[in-house]
Structure 1
Amino acid sequence: MLQAFKQHIEQRRLLLKDDNVIIATSGGPDSMVLTDLLLQLGMEVDLAHVNFGLRGQDSDDDEAFVDNYAQSNNIPVHIRRIDAKSLAKERGMGIQEAARKARYDWFEELRAEIEADVIVTAHHADDATESYLWHIMRGSSLGGFDAIPEASGNVVRPLLRFTKEEILAYAESRKIPFRTDASNADRKYARNQIRHDLIPLMRRIRPGFERNVQRQVSMFDEVNFIIDQFVSQLAPGMMILTEEGIELNVEDLAELPFQRLMLGHIGNDYGFPARRVDEMINLLYSKPGKAIYSQSHRIIRERETLVISTIPSGKGDQSATIEIDTEEIHSPVHIQIEKGAKSDFPILGIDWQATLDADKINFPITVRPWNEGDRMRPLGLEGTQLLSDIFTQAKWSQAQKENAWVFESAGEIIWLAGLRIADSVKISDKTEQVIQFSLSDKF
């Protein structure tokens, strides 16, 4: 294996003879074999180990093993302890995701600190196969089938063409010590079932099938590149960037003969995997207002578009009070207030500005989000009207409605910001003093 490894990294130019290398070392067979291979080639290496404390004493024993191995072989070693559970809670992420990010962040910090050239990890061919099968089961979009790259940034994965079987055989032949993670054998985890049950079964059915997987994954990389280029060409006519997010023209999408490919590719960037493509297609034929959600985003059907935007946090009970002498408020929305003679305030008809008869207003004024059932008497009408009907008439999107503010005086809505003022506070020939409200950040 040593000769094959040497030939592989030279042909692929993954590592150079004089590179200073940091090896991400868990103490398992993969990273210990990688360490031995690089030492056999005479490379200058440092070991880096992260103890996440997820397996109690076993985690501490892994740390001690790596430390002892490094000391016994006069190899510089760097060890970092990270509380993965606390980190995941703090960042609102899954434990494995938080641990992986923290691990790579630290490796890069360490690389810069000791002026190493590259970080090498021990990902191998079985990891790539396992990932491929896992994405099939999860119904991932084509983007989910990207190959694990042999090199990305400062990270190199020189064992990707070698199988676990080859790695273990080399470890046995060289009598390389390593630790075994008992959790890797626990079949309650789906990935372990793939590793220990499915992959061996597929090998018996089709020996060497992993090579076919690698070729397919490489093709997926190229297909995704083509799709990216194709989507970027369609984007100017089909996708529009707005304040609310990204708008997709419903009529154009409905006529596409490759709706699944298009929506699956776009949705994947916003947390909607390929298995949810049917939901996205159904939105094309739904009534306005219907929405589907991922953990971070939503897709909502408007009259003529699908709008992809972050899930609104909700304004809840946010409100502000404007007293008679208030000149400006900054939260929950920025409002500037000016008062003076009518002649000093020409009515400009700006949506986010309202000029009202000051003598007809009772203070304090409450600024708050609108609520279902709110009514007002818009300028020029005899009776009241539901705000929801006003939004409909104005063809406001769901996102615009969610960010609407009302100004309320003595229980009466005197301004629906951006749309209507109340008839009761309009400026007339008898008006002497006015008050002007200006919103500088609508949303």
Structure 2
Amino acid sequence: MEKAFKNEIKSQYPYLCNSKILIAVSGGLDSVVLTHLCNTAKLDFSLAHCNFNLRDEESDADEDFVAALAKNLKVALFIENFDTEKYAKDNGLSTQMAARELRYNWFETLRIKHQFDFTLTAHHANDSLETFFINLIRGTGLEGLSGINADSNYIIRPLLNFSRKEILAYAEENNIPWQEDSTNASTKYLRNKIRHEIVPVFEEINPQFLETFLKTQSHLKENEELIEDYLSLLYPKIIGKTAYGYSLDINYLKKVPNTSAILYQLLKSFGFTEWNDVYHLLDAQPGKMVFSTSHRLVKDRDYLLLTEIDETEDKVYEIAKNEDFAMLPMGTFSFLAVDDIHEKTSNCIYVDPGKLEFPLKVRKWQKGDIFYPFGMKGKKKLSDFFKDKKLSLPDKENSWLLCSGEKIVWVINQRADRRFSITLPNQKIIKITFSL
């Protein structure tokens, strides 16, 4: 296995030979063997050990073992103790998910702080097989059936082409000690149940099941890459950038084969789960919406509009009197006393300061808002004004108002209210400019 590992590094991860590496070591068989293999390959590495404090004396024994391993190999060691159960409770996670989140967050912190190039974990072929079954049971797309990624976000898994049997044989042949996690034998965890009860059934039917799976996994990954290549060609024809997110061309989507699958691939990273509702938006009435926890998809005539869920909808910001500048989340306002009206652009207005009531307020528009548009007679509902301008729902929702008391001074960057305009010669004038 030592020779095979060196060949794996040389062929698949040659950059590791000149990298500063952090190895995640639990003290168990897989991570200890990975450490020894990296040592024989003369890689530049340090060790990182997480004590999750979930197994009492066993957890402490694992920590002591890894400390002795680092001392024996004369490499640096980082150890972090976690209150995993508290973190799980505080964040509404299972204990396993909490431990995963804690360790990967800590690995990334170490990588950045100490300038490691990559973090190595000891996931192997059997882990990938078990992950396949877990995702299959829970329901997944093609990417969930492709097993564990060999590298992602500075995480490298160089043992993925090796089996647990090979790793165990290497440890026994080289008299390498390791710590045995007693929970690995328990089938109360889904992964262990798959490992001890499900996989053996398949191996009984096909003794070469793991090798067969690895070939199948390779084909699945090739298909996944093919889909990604196809999407990269479709993407610029379907997706457009807007001021508040992205637009998806409905007419083009309807022309391509497997529209629902394309929608899934384009939108899966935005947290949507109700995929039938997403697909039905294509033929829904304008204004129909589908939500994820972080984003919203809106039907708007010929496009689906993807935007983040707005958390500033009900916020009101104030601008005090005599402020020359006001920096607010939506942009910056400047107030300048001038003698005359020199230019008129969409991002500035000229007002009579004597008509302003401070503090001025900046807020989103609300249903029922009316104003007196400059250059028009009478008053107008903002909803009708937006309709005349054919604004999309996100454009309407992201329209900010500058208000004096209850009166609208300016539909920002769109239209001023004539009630605050200059009506007399030689009077004081304030130029208000807004910039993003």
* TM tier, smaller: 0.7 to 0.9
Classify the secondary structure of the residue corresponding to 1:279. Answer: helix
d(CA) in 1 for partners of 2:343, 2:16:
72
Deviation of 1:345 (Å): 0.8
The alpha-carbon distance between structure 1 residues 352 and 98, as it changes in their structure 2 partners (threshold 3 A), is: farther
C-alpha deviation, 1:194, in angstroms: 3.0
Q: 1:328 aligns with which of 325, 331, 348?
A: 325
Pairing 1:183-222 to 2, within 5 Å after superposition: 183-222=183-222
TM-superposition CA deviations, 1:297-323 (whole Å, max 9, x none): 333333322222333332533311342
Q: Which amino acid is the alignment partner of residue 433 of structure 2?
A: S
Partner of 2:101: 97
User: Which amino acid in structure 1 is aligned with residue 301 of structure 2?
Assistant: R
- Report 1:349-428 matches (<5 A): 350-379=345-374, 380-385=376-381, 387-428=382-423
Shift of residue 20 of structure 1? 8.9
Which residue, 332, 336, 339 being the options, matches 1:338?
A: 336
CA displacement 1:109-167 (0-9 Å, x = unmatched) = 6675xxxx986532211111122233334443334445545567976544322222343
Unaligned segments of structure 2, at least 5 residues: none
Higher deviation after alignment, 6-15 or 403-412: 6-15
1:183-239 C-alpha deviation (Å, 9 max, x unpaired): 444544433333333323332343323323322332333333333332232233321
Q: What SS class does the counterpart of residue 207 from structure 1 fall into?
A: coil
1:249 and 2:253 equivalent? no
Matched residue of 2:328: which SS? coil
- CA–CA distance in 2 between the matches of 1:47 and 1:35? 9
On the 8 A contact 2:145/2:220 being kept in 1, the answer is yes
The 1:362/1:158 distance shift into structure 2, 3 A limit, reads closer
Find the counterpart in structure 1 of residue 283 from structure 2.
285
Matched residues in 2 for 1:414 and 1:153: separation?
49
User: Percent identical across equivalent pairs?
Assistant: 29
CA contact (8 A) 1:14 1:151 kept: no
Deviations 1:252-288 (A, max 9, x none): 112322213322221133344xx64333212222333
Offset of residue 383 of structure 1: 4.3
User: SS at 1:408's partner residue?
Assistant: strand
Kindly state the Cα deviation for residue 63 of structure 1 after the two structures are TM-superposed. Answer: 0.7
Say which SS state the counterpart of residue 316 (structure 2) adopts.
coil
**CA spacing shift, 1:222–1:21, aligned 2, 3 Å:** same
Residue 64 (structure 1) shift: 0.5
- Which moves more between the two structures, 213-222 or 141-150? 141-150
Alpha-carbon contact 1:88-1:98 (below 8 Å) kept: no
2:302 maps to which of 301, 304, 307: 304
Over 3 Å counting, the alpha-carbon distance change for 1:211 and 1:276 in structure 2 is farther
Partner of 1:55: 54
Do the aligned partners of residues 316 and 51 (structure 1) sit closer, same or farther apart at CA in structure 2, a change above 3 Å counting? same
Could you say what the CA RMSD is over the residues aligned between the two structures, in angstroms?
3.9
Kept in 1, the 8 Å contact 2:120–2:155? The answer is yes
Asked if the contact 1:20/1:43 (under 8 Å) is kept, the reply is no
**How many Å separate the matches in 1 of 2:153 and 2:332?**
43
Comparing 390-399 with 120-129, which one deviates more in the overlay?
390-399
For 1:228, give the aligned amino acid: E
The TM-score normalised by the length of structure 2 is 0.80
Q: Give deviations 1:351-381, integer Å, cap 9, x for gaps.
A: 3322334454444432223333333343424
How many residues in Structure 1 have an aligned counterpart in Structure 2? Answer: 428
Q: Tell me how far apart the structure 1 counterparts of residues 187 and 26 of structure 2 sit (CA, whole Å).
A: 21
Name 1:76's counterpart in structure 2: 75
Distance 1:362 1:156 in 2: 61
Query: Which of residues 317, 330, 334 is equivalent to 1:319?
Result: 317
Q: TM-score, normalised on structure 1?
A: 0.79
Shift of the 186–282 alpha-carbon distance from structure 1 to 2, 3 Å rule, reads farther
Distance in 2 between residues matched to 1:420 and 1:268, nearest whole Å:
38
In 1, distance between residues paired with 2:153 and 2:27?
24
Tell me the CA shift for residue 249 of structure 1. 0.8
Q: In 1, Cα distance between the equivalents of 2:338 and 2:192? A: 74
Q: Does the CA-based 8 Å contact 1:147-1:218 persist in structure 2?
A: no
Aligned match of 1:265: 265
Q: Which amino acid aligns with 1:328?
A: F
Mapped contact 1:359–1:434 kept (Cα < 8 A): no
**Structure 1 200/352 Cα, relative in aligned 2: closer, same or farther at 3 Å?**
farther
Q: Distance in 2 between matches of 1:135 and 1:431?
A: 74
* CA positional deviation for 1:42: 7.4
For 2:334 and 2:16, the matched residues in 1 are separated by 63
Tell me how far 1:330 sits from its aligned partner.
1.4
CA distance in 2, matches of 1:103, 1:17: 20
Q: Distance in 2 between matches of 1:402 and 1:233?
A: 32
Alignment partners' CA distance in 2, 1:98 and 1:18:
28
- Give the AA of the match of 2:325: E
Q: Greater shift after overlay, 90-99 or 365-374? A: 90-99
